[in-house]
Amino acid sequence: MITGASRGIGLAIAERLGSLGARLAICARDKARIEAAAAGLRKRGAEVFATVADVTRPADATRLAEETSAALGPVDILVNNAGLGSFKPFYEFGEADWDSMLDTNLKGVFLVSRAVAPEMIRRRAGNIINISSLAGKNTFAGGGVYCASKWGLMGLTGCMAEDLRGHGIRVAAVCPGSVATEFSGHSGRDPGKLLQAEDVAHAVAAILTQGPTSFMSEIQMRPVAKP
């Protein structure tokens, strides 16, 4: 199950995991985009269940887990990728902006993970991967609200890992720097010097293909060339 999978990093992860033989459940808020993504994945030979879902809504998170299990079976892998980003001085944000970013980047991870965890616990197996950011490890001007969401996500991820590792479930965070996607503007920067969505997908695949006794809890990613 991959949230926010209609484009960018989420779609790249879906393509990579589909190529490894995973059956895919993908969701996003835009119906046209998620259907187009599903069609492209099916052309690549993947089995896909696609649905519209808003991860900030508890009912949608529950429905997503239930419909995925009905369509494909129990969720073995959850990639919490859905996210928002906006960058300007904190005092220029409104309360609604704060709520939107924190709800998507942090609350959504909690809601969807909570929806799939009981079945993973029952089966004593599973992987949850949260797509965080280097903004969850560092601070910078204009990043106050985004950094707050990602620092919170890093704390949540660590605690989830401790709550679930005794049940045979691994929880990890992938923390990329700037990625060349539509997510946020990179005006004036050479996209060839940014991380690519496929780089993040590679990190996710590395976590999922590690040995059964190891626990890769965090991957930090930077481009080789400084943008």
Q: What is 26-84 written as a DSSP string?
A: EEES-HHHHHHHHHHHHHTT--EEEEE--TTSHHHHHHHHHHHHHHH-S-SEEEE----
* Residue with token string 């797509």: 131
Residue of 146, 148, 172, 179 marked catalytic: 146
Helix (H, G, I), strand (E, B) or coil at 145: helix
Phi-psi region of 2 (alpha: psi -120 to 50; beta: other; left: phi over 0): beta
Asked whether 63 and 53 are in contact (CB, 8 A), the reply is yes
Contacts of 186 (CB under 8 A, 6+ apart): 178, 180, 194, 227
How does 37-61 read in b/e, with b if 16+ C-beta sit within 10 Å?
bbeebeeeebebbbbbbbbbeeebb
* Tens digit of each residue's pLDDT, the chain (227 residues): 999 999 999 999 999 999 999 999 999 999 999 999 999 999 999 999 999 999 999 999 999 999 999 999 999 999 999 999 999 999 999 999 999 999 999 999 999 999 999 999 999 999 999 999 999 999 999 999 999 999 999 999 999 999 999 999 999 999 999 898 766 555 556 777 799 999 999 999 999 999 999 999 999 999 988 76
Phi, psi of 217 (to 5 degrees): -90, -20
Q: Report how far residue 133's alpha carbon sits from residue 5's, in angstroms, rounded to the nearest whole number.
A: 17
Is there a catalytic annotation at residue 91? Answer: no
User: What pLDDT, on a 0 to 100 scale, did the predictor assign at position 184?
Assistant: 53
Domains of the chain: 2-221 (3.40.50.720)
User: What pLDDT, on a 0 to 100 scale, did the predictor assign at position 189?
Assistant: 67
- The candidate with the shortest Cα–Cα distance to 79, out of 222, 216, 209, 205, is 205
Q: Report how far residue 222's alpha carbon sits from residue 35's, in angstroms, rounded to the nearest whole number.
A: 32
